[in-house]
Amino acid sequence: MNVKDDLQTRWWTLEAKLTERFSKKPDLETILFLIGIQEFGGIKEKFTKEQKQDLMHVAVCSLLSESGYYELEGVDDDGWPHFKQLKPMPVMDTIQQEYFLKDHILLYFESKDF
């Protein structure tokens, strides 16, 4: 089994767990949204479209901070985390970017014992 196959197998396992939890199979954006809510620490009944985009940005920055690409600078008065980019992202094609992000998502959920 190569690394790509292992990643895909672990991804399907995560999708299955999330589907069981939420009764609906989440796509990548939904998973980022969930991570963003977790990292933001606040659940509201409704988020605006802009807030949903901000939550996904928080998720990506949080995920990539584990690899040293971002660092948490602080939290504003409304509770939103702000990040500083520490190093440029590697040049990747779309497929490589997806695998890179999925690998970070899997590590995130593993660190949360999910």
81-96 residue pLDDT tens: 999 999 999 999 999 9
Please return the burial class of 109, using the count of CB atoms within 10 Å of its CB with bins 0-12, 13-18 and 19+.
middle
Q: What is the pTM of this model?
A: 0.88
Measured between alpha carbons, how far is 27 from 41 in angstroms, rounded to an integer?
21
Model pLDDT for residues 25-70, shown as the tens digit of each residue = 999 999 999 999 999 987 777 889 999 999 999 999 999 999 999 9
Measured between alpha carbons, how far is 29 from 49 in angstroms, rounded to an integer?
13
Which residues are CB-contacts of 92 (< 8 A; sequence separation ≥ 6)?
100
Residue whose pair of structure tokens reads 């990506």 in the numeric block: 60
Per-residue confidence (pLDDT) for residue 2, from 0 to 100? 60
